[in-house]
Amino acid sequence: MLRRVQCLIRLHSNGRQALQFRSYAKDGANSKQNPNPNPRAQKQGSKNLPAVRNPFATAQDRTKDSYLTMVEIFNERDVHRRNHVEFIYAALKNMADFGVERDLEVYKALINVMPKGKFIPTNLFQAEFMHYPKQQQCIIDLLEQMEDLGVMPDYEMEAMLLNVFGRQGHPLRKYWRMMYWMPKFKNLSPWPLPDPVPDDTLEIARLAVERMCTVDLRSKVTVFESKDLKDAIDDTWIVSGMSPEQEKLLREHSRQKALYIEGPFHIWLRNRRINYFTLRADPDTEFLAQLDERQLDEDDVSNIEVPFFGRAPPRRHNQLGKLRSVHQQDDGTILAICATGTSTKDSLLSWIRLLEANGNPSIGEVPVLFRFTSTVPAKAKEIEGSAGVPAKSESRCSENGQTRSE
């Protein structure tokens, strides 16, 4: 019986709500045309479920302004602000649609929906037994959403929460925890990124290559345009990272040994993924072995050579040898890194030719092989493909003395 009365009240209030929100939301009757209708709103006839109308799901204009206006209308609807917990949950759920999920102002507006002073415990028992648990849990969930999305609260929010829940409130405890830990973790990364990460792919690719090049401080990141080359098919950008040390390694690389373009590998910049390719040579095993030999353990007394009986005294050999570069790894020598706009074979070919033209003439004399971990298209997809194009690229390949393999 009681439940039915509640249902009736809710239905009644929903009717009024619909009237109020008319300027921002579509009517229930129009919900079929709505691209994102609320399924619960359509079940108005069903006996068991109370009809709950979600103004956020039916809003036409999805901007921060309309979001804040809806919160404001709810605030001014009546003194009691019935269903404000449900309202805040619905508002939290639909934040992403309005693009406000990282906006501190909006979170503050939602906390502002709570009545001030009403939920402050007045005695010890109330304080200890979570006074107004639904309301407190609701704001804890709100704070948790902020924490998950990396939105840091400010001191005004503390004042607001103090006004609503008092010093003993659980949301305050959550807030204080957040304000203790979040600033500690915020700038922890040794490779800081702009927040938010830019949307432009070229910009992200540049950031990615710069990040990978932090291994060698002398690295230079250049953005090439493939249209600078005479007969490149793809018109795209190529972000290339190479250091003087890598140029030197490339110069000293044997002309008989092949270089490999490997990839696509990926690197993550927060939630963006960028494919990159490397120009790699097989490890210089002779040099690496020689390094190991040089590292004599002077403390090892288990095998002392005795310099008697005509044997030459032990020579301190190779004390002044070549140092190992950071690019000379055990599994290969990395000579350059690149990310291209199309990640196609043609753009990679353009990259090699651009490297050749920009201070690495030796690369033209070395065979360069492709070695891909997944399928890489030969060229960027065109809507109108011409038959002559692949043959052209093949011929250019042989011109440069480069071979392909997969």
Give the interface with other proteins as residue ranges (CB under 8 A). Answer: 128, 148-150, 168, 173, 176-177, 181, 184-185, 188-191, 208, 211-215, 265-271, 273, 276, 278, 280, 326-327, 329-332, 334, 337
By beta-carbon proximity to other proteins, the closer residue of 109 and 336 is: 336
By beta-carbon proximity to other proteins, the closer residue of 160 and 178 is: 178
* Minimum separation from the CB atom of position 42 to other proteins (A): 18
Q: For residues 84-93, b (16+ Cβ closer than 10 Å) or e, as one string?
A: bbebbbbbbe
By beta-carbon proximity to other proteins, the closer residue of 70 and 91 is: 91
By beta-carbon proximity to other proteins, the closer residue of 189 and 302 is: 189
* Minimum separation from the CB atom of position 81 to other proteins (A): 26
CB-based contact 115:164 (threshold 8 Å): yes
Q: Coil, strand, or helix at residue 73? A: helix
The Cα 253–Cα 393 span in angstroms is 26
Please list the alpha-helical segments (H only) found in 314-374: 345-357
* Minimum separation from the CB atom of position 22 to other proteins (A): 31
By beta-carbon proximity to other proteins, the closer residue of 189 and 386 is: 189
* Minimum separation from the CB atom of position 362 to other proteins (A): 21
By beta-carbon proximity to other proteins, the closer residue of 278 and 402 is: 278
By beta-carbon proximity to other proteins, the closer residue of 11 and 269 is: 269
Closest CA to 260 of 364, 343, 366, 380: 366
The Cα 316–Cα 304 span in angstroms is 14
- Maximum CA pair distance of the chain? 112
For the chain, the C-alpha Rg in angstroms (whole number) is 33
* Minimum separation from the CB atom of position 245 to other proteins (A): 12
- Alpha-carbon dihedral 53, 55, 56, 59, rounded to 10 degrees: 130
* Minimum separation from the CB atom of position 146 to other proteins (A): 13
By beta-carbon proximity to other proteins, the closer residue of 214 and 395 is: 214
By beta-carbon proximity to other proteins, the closer residue of 188 and 383 is: 188
* Minimum separation from the CB atom of position 331 to other proteins (A): 4
Please list the alpha-helical segments (H only) found in 94-154: 95-98, 104-111, 124-128, 133-148
By beta-carbon proximity to other proteins, the closer residue of 8 and 289 is: 289
Q: For residues 164-173, b (16+ Cβ closer than 10 Å) or e, as one string?
A: bbbeebbbbb
The Cα 196–Cα 270 span in angstroms is 9
* Minimum separation from the CB atom of position 116 to other proteins (A): 21
- C-alpha distances (whole Å) from 179 to each of 133, 139, 156, 168, 172 are 23, 16, 12, 17, 10
Closest CA to 171 of 205, 206, 200, 144: 144
Let me know how many helices (H) and strands (E) the chain has, helices first: 15, 7
* Minimum separation from the CB atom of position 125 to other proteins (A): 13
* Minimum separation from the CB atom of position 308 to other proteins (A): 34
By beta-carbon proximity to other proteins, the closer residue of 161 and 337 is: 337
Which residues are within 8 A (CB) of 378 and not within 5 positions of it... i.e. 6 or more apart? 344, 345, 346, 390, 393
Both tokens assigned to 45: 């006839």
* Minimum separation from the CB atom of position 303 to other proteins (A): 21
Q: First vs last Cα of the chain: how many Å apart?
A: 74
